[in-house]
Structure 1
Amino acid sequence: MKSRARRLARHSIDTTGHFQLMNILVPNNVHRDQPQLSNVDVQLLERLNQRDADPDFWSSRQRDRSDSGHRFFQYPAMMVPVVQRRLIKELIGVQSGVASIYDPFMGSGTTLVSGMHFGLSVYGTDINPLAVLISQVRTAKVIDGDVGRKLEKVVKRASADGSFVIETDIPNIDKWFKPEVAVELSRLRRAIRSIDASWARKFFWVALAETVRLAGNDRTSTYKLHVRPADEIARRDISPIVMFQSIGEGNIASLTAFREALRDANTVTGQGSYVADSRVRLLDVRGDLKERWMGKTPFDLVMTSPPYGDNHTTVTYGQHSYLPLAWIDFEDIDREADQGALSTTHEIDSRSLGGRGTLSQQDTDRLFDTSPSLKVFVESLSTASTKARNRLFRFYHDFSQSISQIAGVLRRDGYMIWTVGNRNVTGRQVPTDEILKEMLEGVRCAHVVTLSRQIHHKRMPTRNATSATMREEKILIVRKSRD
């Protein structure tokens, strides 16, 4: 093999783990002037290789929380906007015709707003209603230029409201909110409902969600629901209305800066409308994506960061969203949103990948055929880890289903960019990057390169034993070779 191919680049992981190009072999007969897809891969690899001179290029030590509306809500494990933009820029610099980007696990929409800087049509899905709401606000084609005046109206109306009626039926409300806090949150909810403009209401629901997160009795040091100590709750003196106003003003400033950046990039018209399409949906990616995105597919680029494992044992996105969602009108989010998502504090996480269900031996065997690396890892676990193995099986079974659906809505020769972390199970690190690579190869996607990045600012549950080693992420770039 070495005599018939030239090695473009191969970097082993150094002690910092900043950058890695893994076993990339390029045939000698590929020339840059040939209109071949392998040539596109070569050009992409050469561009990525040039970035190796900067060890922080993919890690980005600098942090700007106002970047592209990143500060709207402290959503778990958010991507870094500047890193996403760098990845997109490198890819569209070598592949022509990229006009759309899809993120199947969009979270708070960082990939989508990154695509907007390049004028791409952006599409996203998530199973969490709060993620959908946040992404809708950040990726709106047109925003309300009068939102500042409407914020003053909401605050004034809430401040003048003398009602003590509580506007949520959340169980154990006294556990999660002091009485005076619940009253002010209810007044804010009524005031937001008085706003006629749909996008402005969504904007204020997001501000209210962050207010709930900070004003409630839930600890903010973890994504799982844990009530603060009683003495700490007693000492807290918080006005949700005052907090809401401050958050709203900060979000308006962040949004204004983002739209100005889009205007400078010529991706917003003089009338303030985004130049391309922008749509997000509440959707389970294990379903038929082609049918749900009919008329929009195939997408040109997939860029995403999937869950690192089932939500119950890794990042509890649903628990983190439970209290904020209890104060938001679901009809303002998505027609698929249902109050059943709040039936328990665990329901959204149970609806996510690996959250529920059982697998047959046939399912397990098929899963092992899809990923030999998964089989090797499972066989290395102790026999006492039955529960952990079952959770692992459920997650990767669902993950495999979603990968098949996602590949089905990507155009032939389109690229996928996956950012993943390798979690722990019973003290052993799951080789998620290798498992993902094998699963993608099973849906006719050719591995191009794997990058590594250090996590400097991404907020991860460091107290959670299953994710304690997630200080590094892998970025897998693959190309769909055929339909």
Structure 2
Amino acid sequence: MTELETLITSSLPKFAEENNLYFKPKTLEDWENVWDFGEFNANIYNHGLHQYPARFIPQLVRKIVKTFSNENSNVLDIFSGSGTTILECKYLGIKNSYGIELNPFAVFMTKTKLQNLDENSAIQKLDKIKSLFFDDSYNFSLISFKNIEFWYSEKVISALSKLFDIISKITDEKVKNFYLLVFCEISRKTSFLDHSGFKMYRSKTKVSSHFEPDVWNEFYRTSQRNFELLKENNKITMNNDTNQTLVYGDSRIIHSEIPEHSIDLILTSPPYGDSKTTVAYGQYSRLPWQWLSQKDDIIQLDTNLLGGSTKKLDKSILNLSEKLKEQVAEIENVDDSKRSNDVIAFYNDLYSTLKSATYYMKKGGYFILVTGNRTVKKIYLRTDLIITEFAKTLGYSTEKIYSRNIINKRMASKNSPTNEKGKTVNTMMTENIIILKKL
């Protein structure tokens, strides 16, 4: 039995008392073979308060964290997104967990999911919000941001502006954030957005049919759903004495909030490629964040994420991975250098995140990445192998690579690599779980 198999086997008793919302492996074979979790609900507890593209599955996170850490461990997610990893760490009683995230909306979402809020405090406020919303004498100002009239009807802008004003005046910060997160979800539902993907297109059907959603009804229904999720969340976090540190920043650089050589487990799911051709997190988050901040800075977010810029391109990264060098050459054989430069820029940035993450890692700690292999110019990029080659240069051994089908991870079935409306391709439907160990 290998060292990894011994570790997994020794962790199995931890799953014996697991509730039925999570996977309960009984044998080593169970643990190694089950990764899809298609029969499980991903929107449990506070995980379901708001959706997010390509979101981690709680059952996947739970399985890994429970196996590779304990209550006294320090756990980090360097692409924390909507907070699944650190929220699961809170549920499991992990003393210290950390997240790094560059999307301000995702940071707000995570902080709201993590806050300790008595559900009754939130529930009691709903009647007051309703009373003010239907008070015709209530004075408020219309919210304005770039292209707001393009995405909403005048009636919806007025209703959302009024609702936002009412929520913003709630004095209890936690209750206010709870309702602002509800507001964020309905700000997408009540827009002209086509929800078949994560990039921003207007739905021709909505526009032609003069789409006029009932803002209050959407808000009320989403609030009721979130009350129930919060109630269940509070049953398991009531006496929880844990710490979660969320860093709003870039995972390519080192952050002082996370001590050097302090982390036992890094569990993360990096982007599969640059946002221009894969999941556009900034576009997905744009409308909610524009309402929250009344700023347009998030429009530039996707260019600031991995592979977002090819300026000052450093091709020396090709010397750190034979597989990457080989595949870049294949792309250049069928296309000009533009697409190969995009690929190099992405892997350059990905390597920077691995290098910075290594600063935090303890010797003997595990670095586990869940990632996918995308296709560029019909060439299947082996991100899994490229990562293992990068990792070797940083002092890691590759313990094993598992594969999972993407069933209930929230992703569009098609995307638009060229960002041109109507030109779509199938998205990847499998992921790899790469288990590295720091030597």
TM-score under structure 1 length normalisation? 0.80
Name the residue aligned to 2:48: 71
The AA in structure 2 aligned to 1:80 is I
Name the residue aligned to 2:303: 350
User: Does residue 369 of structure 2 align to residue 422 of structure 1?
Assistant: no
SS at 1:238 equivalent: coil
Moved more, 375-384 or 52-61: 52-61
What is the alpha-carbon distance in structure 2 between the residues aligned to residue 69 and residue 56 of structure 1? 28
What is the alpha-carbon distance in structure 2 between the residues aligned to residue 401 and residue 220 of structure 1? 33
What is the alpha-carbon distance in structure 1 between the residues aligned to residue 399 and residue 172 of structure 2? 46
Name the residue aligned to 1:367: 317
CA contact (8 A) 1:51 1:57 kept: no
Deviations 1:248-284 (A, max 9, x none): 1211211221221x25xxxx41xxxx31101212111
What is the alpha-carbon distance in structure 2 between the residues aligned to residue 232 and residue 56 of structure 1? 46
User: Does residue 436 of structure 2 align to residue 478 of structure 1?
Assistant: yes
- Per the TM alignment, residue 138 of structure 1 is displaced from its structure 2 partner at its CA by 1.4
User: Does residue 68 of structure 2 align to residue 91 of structure 1?
Assistant: yes
CA contact (8 A) 2:261 2:359 kept: no
Of residues 256, 262, 268, the one that matches 1:304 is: 268
Cα pair distance change 1:154/1:443, threshold 3 Å:
farther
What is the alpha-carbon distance in structure 2 between the residues aligned to residue 123 and residue 452 of structure 1? 26
- Per the TM alignment, residue 394 of structure 1 is displaced from its structure 2 partner at its CA by 1.0
Trace 1:27-38 onto structure 2 (pairs within 5 A): none
- Per the TM alignment, residue 53 of structure 1 is displaced from its structure 2 partner at its CA by 4.2
Cα pair distance change 1:55/1:407, threshold 3 Å:
closer
Unaligned residue ranges in structure 2 (runs of 5+): 13-24, 418-424
CA contact (8 A) 1:134 1:206 kept: yes
Cα pair distance change 1:182/1:164, threshold 3 Å:
farther
Name the residue aligned to 1:412: 363
Trace 1:252-401 onto structure 2 (pairs within 5 A): 252-260=227-235, 262-263=236-237, 268-269=238-239, 274-289=240-255, 291-294=256-259, 298-329=262-293, 339=295, 341-342=297-298, 345=299, 347-360=300-313, 363-364=314-315, 366-381=316-331, 382-401=333-352
Deviations 1:29-57 (A, max 9, x none): xxxxxxxxxx4x34135569944347872
Cα pair distance change 1:256/1:66, threshold 3 Å:
farther
- Per the TM alignment, residue 293 of structure 1 is displaced from its structure 2 partner at its CA by 2.8
What is the alpha-carbon distance in structure 1 between the residues aligned to residue 45 and residue 206 of structure 2? 38
Cα pair distance change 1:217/1:162, threshold 3 Å:
farther
What is the alpha-carbon distance in structure 2 between the residues aligned to residue 476 and residue 132 of structure 1? 26
Moved more, 67-76 or 472-481: 67-76
Deviations 1:298-349 (A, max 9, x none): 122111101111111100000011011111148xxxxxxxx4523xx3x110
Name the residue aligned to 2:90: 116
Cα pair distance change 1:293/1:46, threshold 3 Å:
closer
User: Does residue 7 of structure 2 align to residue 44 of structure 1?
Assistant: yes
Moved more, 394-403 or 57-66: 57-66
- Per the TM alignment, residue 64 of structure 1 is displaced from its structure 2 partner at its CA by 1.7
CA contact (8 A) 2:68 2:265 kept: no
What is the alpha-carbon distance in structure 1 between the residues aligned to residue 357 and residue 31 of structure 2? 32
What is the alpha-carbon distance in structure 2 between the residues aligned to residue 55 and residue 245 of structure 1? 43
Trace 1:218-237 onto structure 2 (pairs within 5 A): 218-229=193-204, 232=207, 234-237=209-212
TM-score under structure 2 length normalisation? 0.88
Deviations 1:72-110 (A, max 9, x none): 222101111112111222223xxx675221111111111
CA contact (8 A) 1:285 1:402 kept: yes
The sequence identity of aligned pairs, in percent, is 25
Name the residue aligned to 1:195: 170
- Per the TM alignment, residue 70 of structure 1 is displaced from its structure 2 partner at its CA by 2.4
CA contact (8 A) 2:323 2:386 kept: yes
Of residues 99, 103, 109, the one that matches 2:77 is: 103
Deviations 1:162-182 (A, max 9, x none): 468554322222210011111
Of residues 147, 160, 167, the one that matches 1:185 is: 160
CA contact (8 A) 1:341 1:348 kept: yes
The AA in structure 1 aligned to 2:80 is M
- Per the TM alignment, residue 371 of structure 1 is displaced from its structure 2 partner at its CA by 1.4
What is the alpha-carbon distance in structure 2 between the residues aligned to residue 233 and residue 69 of structure 1? 36
Unaligned residue ranges in structure 1 (runs of 5+): 1-7, 9-25, 27-38, 331-338
Name the residue aligned to 1:131: 106
What is the alpha-carbon distance in structure 2 between the residues aligned to residue 439 and residue 64 of structure 1? 35
Aligned length: 416
